[in-house]
Structure 1
């Protein structure tokens, strides 16, 4: 049954991505007071038709003013962006869970103060966070003479840890707050009171019983976090001049490239969360998934 739901979700998501690829035609028509539905349908058909033969696909690069081949260069842009994205997501989840576990061992008043501070930090703009990190690197270099990381990429170089840190900060804060809410909800459940009455320690109850149930909610909450990180990825690539797929899309904007870009993120994410959903439902909740 679960596999049928996943298949239906995949088909509708794919159809939605294809439909969105033609939106620029609709929007440009609405700006002029026109409904260009036929042109919209035609743009989708052209985008799908241009994908074959895919190895011969080329696009007009507006920055350099000439056509450039899409393959195999686009794989380098896609792989670099996905590496940054998944490194940041994994780090954000791990840090959020670890900090939540440590926080849950603290007294209740301290926990509430931490939660209030997270609400404030979560509202910080992503652009401000990136700029503060870059300024911190520059200030450290001026004081010590040590450049711990480049703050911008030139000649197609690749940097990892500083962009990853910039991308994970706000999602980690968001997940940290959501994790605390989830763990506190689990703390009020009857099985926790029963475990306490049986003499189990707070650490044991937290790591064995509460963690088992709360981590499922954390996993599904990370879906929203992933989309939030995707929205920040363009700003990150722009600020660091990263040779990623978002900047490639900006320089080669067309329905075909938009479709390729979205699909390059959709397939890995769909596979990751479909596998995770199957794993958690089967092994953590003990349900047999067909």
Structure 2
């Protein structure tokens, strides 16, 4: 029931935001255009129905194009990059955290300082360095390990995914380290060590399953951070994704469909995850 209420209010919020240009234009002019705002919302919702017949003006070609199914290809490509990068960031963040937890305190501090320095790098610089590295390798070896831009409708994955995942991975690593360190100080960890369990066993079996729950819920900020970097990524790699589609076909209707296309899978991901976590915790209480 709570999830349904969250979903309804979230969808309502997205719809209300789609009409904000009218309100902002009124505020700039010193007016509160509520009537025009409500009219704009009605126009957006009516304009999208029926979906198959809705068209938008492409600013590059200055021609009308059908929104569906054209927008579907752009949405799918962007979601593929986003979730692949998110999975890569989580995997390496957890792996580095576990390896760091096996080290002594002095070594931990050195690793954390190095990764924190990388976190200060702008996403634009990361992308440019990755592209320059590919060019340098090609000039030295005559081997093209990855394309640095999409041309003629081709899709590239591993280099954009790596660039999109790097900074979120460091953020998640920092979050994982804080969570694992908190778990390390708890009494049940001391008890497990006193019983003779190895450090690796304690981290993987005892600390991991408790710490990962907290990391999962706090990772929502990370995936929204990745969304903010997605536009730069698509621009730098010339990726035919939804961000560039919105830039070339800007309208309240395109904005509404695009935002909802991102909101729905992310909402489902965290809703299912929350349900599984609560089910796990209730199972533990029953035991």
TMscore range, shorter length: over 0.9
What SS does the aligned partner of 1:231 have? Answer: helix
Match of 1:267 among 264, 268, 272: 264
Distance 1:222 1:17 in 2: 21
Superposition map of 1:68-217 within 5 A:
68-217=65-214
Measured after TM superposition, the shift of residue 67 of structure 1 is 1.0
Q: Which residue number corresponds to residue 241 of structure 1?
A: 238
5+ residue gaps, structure 2: none
5+ residue gaps, structure 1: none
Q: Does 1:53 align with 2:55?
A: no
Deviations 1:7-52 (A, max 9, x none): 1111111111111111122222222333222222211111111121
Distance 1:249 1:112 in 2: 43
TM-score norm. by structure 1 comes to 0.95
Distance 1:191 1:170 in 2: 33
Of stretches 54-63 and 276-285 in structure 1, the one that deviates more from structure 2 is 276-285
Deviations 1:98-118 (A, max 9, x none): 110011000011112222333
Deviations 1:103-136 (A, max 9, x none): 1000011112222333322221111111111111
Deviations 1:176-206 (A, max 9, x none): 1110111001000111011111111111110
Distance 1:110 1:239 in 2: 36
Deviations 1:142-193 (A, max 9, x none): 1111111111111221111111011000000110111011100100011101
What SS does the aligned partner of 1:82 have? Answer: helix
C-alpha contact (below 8 Å) 1:51/1:57 kept by paired residues: yes
Distance 1:6 1:247 in 2: 31
Q: Which residue number corresponds to residue 253 of structure 2?
A: 256
Distance 2:110 2:277 in 1: 32
- Specify whether residues 284 and 145 from structure 1 end up closer, same or farther in structure 2 by C-alpha distance, changes over 3 A only: farther
- Specify whether residues 86 and 176 from structure 1 end up closer, same or farther in structure 2 by C-alpha distance, changes over 3 A only: same
Distance 2:114 2:23 in 1: 43
- Specify whether residues 106 and 192 from structure 1 end up closer, same or farther in structure 2 by C-alpha distance, changes over 3 A only: same
How many residues were matched structurally?
286
Q: Which residue number corresponds to residue 39 of structure 1?
A: 36
Cα root mean square deviation, aligned: 1.5
Measured after TM superposition, the shift of residue 284 of structure 1 is 5.4
Measured after TM superposition, the shift of residue 272 of structure 1 is 0.8
Q: Which residue number corresponds to residue 229 of structure 2?
A: 232
TM-score norm. by structure 2 comes to 0.96
C-alpha contact (below 8 Å) 1:99/1:176 kept by paired residues: yes
What SS does the aligned partner of 1:67 have? Answer: strand
The ranges of structure 1 where at least 4 consecutive aligned residues each deviate by more than 6 angstroms after the TM superposition are none
What SS does the aligned partner of 1:286 have? Answer: helix
